[in-house]
Structure 1
Amino acid sequence: MTYPILITGASRGLGAALALQLAQKFHVIAVAKTAGGLEELDDRIQASGGQATLAPLDITDVNAVRHLCRSIHDRWGGLQIWAHCAIHAAPLSPANCIDSRDWDKSIKLNVTTTGMLIPNVAPLLHDNGKAIFFDDPCGGEKFFGSYGATKAAQIALAKSWQAETVKTGPKVEIITPAPMPTATRARFYPGEDRSALTSCDSEAARITTALDLFAQA
């Protein structure tokens, strides 16, 4: 039996590209806050011959996440892959000028929510399943204080889980994507020559191959 995959942060960017790529072999459960983005993704997946279940919800809501995980268990019995692509990208700012609201949002989504998702999603992943996190090693760079610090904390949490599951599974993968022309990057590097960046679809294909994800099917 092939279990479905869960992508949190699937409405755009790398999350959407991974959903489209992996829908070639898996049923995709696409989660995002933006229903319109998910509907556009679903159109693309259906046009390619794949199938998806859309879950428009706020992943910072623990009750919504628990309901989603229970529904996944009741319908499919578990997951084969979880790719966590959701992120809050706070505006660049000197460390002494970080907006308190952006700081709170960064901690809530990038750190607190990841710490809540792992214990809720982990029981759904089979021993040979995979959880995938995406690093962005900008922590410590100037003006990246809010995003960089909370992204680094997220990856530190993923690394702890990775070390803890070496013998038991699921396999936790941490990968650093190539620079892509995403909305997040546009906020950080306005005016950048986006033609020199790797497309999200190309990077999704590279990650799928590098992590041998189709072998999970």
Structure 2
Amino acid sequence: MPTIARPDFAGRVAVVTGGNRGIGLETARLLARGGARLSLWARDTLRLEAAATELADMTEVHIVQADVGDEQAVQAAARAAIDHFGQVDILVNNAGTLGPRAPVGTYLASDFEAVLRINLMGTFHCCSALVPHMSARGYGRIVNVASVAGKDGNPFVSGYAASKAAQIALTKSLGKEVATTGVLVNAVTPSASPTDIFGELDEDRKRALLANVPMARFVAPEEVAQMIGWLCSEACSFSTGATFDISGGRATF
């Protein structure tokens, strides 16, 4: 990958949900290299502890075992992060789930709701917990990790696609809502990346995932993190409520 200028996050505190693996962990690494202190929220305590151990060589790391789909757990995590650091400046809503693969008609309503609970309600809960704090301080950067599936859909994962489309809509609405407060809210829409969310991929599944990607490859988590990093930085100063595509040409809107 080409050498890219490192954003300066000195003095900033960042919350990264799902920051213990995949795109979330790569984003946490980038933020740490830039000088941010980190609060990582996730359900898997062992992976949280492993991520914290790795990142502790670069910055101060605070971890919270939390399910973002649980409003009370998120409110408690936000209080814990603010109590620990005294502030939160950056929120990366990365925690997510793919859910089952099934056609509508056999896709269970309970499974559909479970995906919305994490991907959409989780983002809403985290924003609800931290936006008032950021607005009161007059500064904030929020990045919602959506998906190209939220733009043009994917077959057999209707819950995931619907949740990501709603996440994009929430980004647009909230970005306009807080536009004069110093808090900027944006989304990124990656195409498929080789992370745990997809599990083990056989060759047929890989071909299906890449069939609509003109660049004919997966996007690396590091590439997505670079885009997120700019959106988390002070260099991003006049973009809010926007959706930033990183899909290798699959979506051009």
Pick the TM interval, shorter chain.
Answer: 0.7 to 0.9
2:187 matched to 1:174? yes
- Map of 1:213 onto structure 2: 233
For structure 2, list consecutive stretches of 5 or more residues without a partner in the other structure. Answer: 1-9, 211-215, 237-253
Gap change, CA 1:31 and 1:205, over 3 Å in 2: same
- Aligned partner of 1:148 in structure 2 is 161
Q: How does 1:61-72 map to 2 (within 5 A)?
A: 61-72=70-81
Question: Helix, strand or coil for the counterpart of 1:131?
Answer: strand
Which of 111, 132, 135 is the equivalent residue of 2:146? 135
Q: Which runs of 5+ in 1 are unaligned?
A: none
Whether contact under 8 Å (2:175, 2:184) holds in the other structure is yes
Question: Is the CA contact 1:20–1:44 (under 8 Å) kept in the aligned structure 2?
Answer: no
**1:89 is paired with a residue of what secondary structure?**
coil
Aligned match of 2:225 in 165, 186, 204?
204
Quickly say closer, same or farther: Cα 1:123–1:77, change in 2 above 3 A. farther
State the alpha-carbon separation in 2 of the partners of residues 97 and 184 from structure 1: 21
- Matches of 1:40 and 1:131, distance apart in 2: 25
Q: Distance in 1 between matches of 2:119 and 2:224?
A: 22
SS of 2:139 mapped into structure 1: strand
Whole-Å Cα distance in 2 between the matches of residues 127 and 150 of structure 1? 29
1:164 aligned to 2:185? no
Residues 142, 199 of structure 1: CA spacing in aligned structure 2 closer, same or farther, 3 A cutoff? closer
CA distance in 2, matches of 1:109, 1:190: 26
CA distance in 2, matches of 1:111, 1:143: 18
Contact 2:17 2:94 in 1 (8 A): yes
1:6-21 equivalence runs, <5 A: 6-21=15-30
Q: Where does residue 31 of structure 1 map in the other structure?
A: 41
Greater CA drift, 82-91 or 161-170: 161-170
Post-superposition offset of 1:121: 1.3
CA 1:79 to 1:160, structure 2 compared with 1: closer, same or farther past 3 Å?
same
Greater fraction helix: 1
Q: Which residue identity does 2:157 align to in structure 1? A: F
Describe the superposition over 1:67-90 as per-residue Cα deviations: whole angstroms up to 9, x where unpaired.
222223333332110000011211
67 and 180 in structure 1: CA distance in 2 versus 1, 3 angstrom threshold: same
Map Cα deviations across residues 18-75 of structure 1 (whole Å, 9 max, x no partner): 111111211110000001111221122124x222111112222222222222223333
Give the SS at the match of 1:69. Answer: helix
Please tell me whether the aligned partners of residues 138 and 181 of structure 2 are also in contact (alpha carbons under 8 angstroms): yes
Read off the aligned partner of 1:43 and give its amino acid letter.
Answer: T
Return the TM-score normalized by structure 2.
0.75
* Structure 2 contact 17–24 (Cα < 8 Å) conserved: yes
Bigger mean CA offset, 49-58 vs 12-21: 49-58
Task: Report the Cα offset of residue 117 of structure 1.
Answer: 2.3
When the two chains are superposed, the root-mean-square deviation of aligned CA atoms in Å is 2.5
State the SS of the aligned residue for 2:149.
Answer: coil
Q: Does 1:73 align with 2:82?
A: yes
SS at match of 1:179: coil
Rounded Cα–Cα distance in structure 2 between residues aligned with 1:170 and 1:2 = 17
Q: Distance in 2 between matches of 1:204 and 1:148?
A: 21
1:103 corresponds in structure 2 to 112
Indicate yes or no: 2:197 matched with 1:184.
yes
Aligned residues: 213
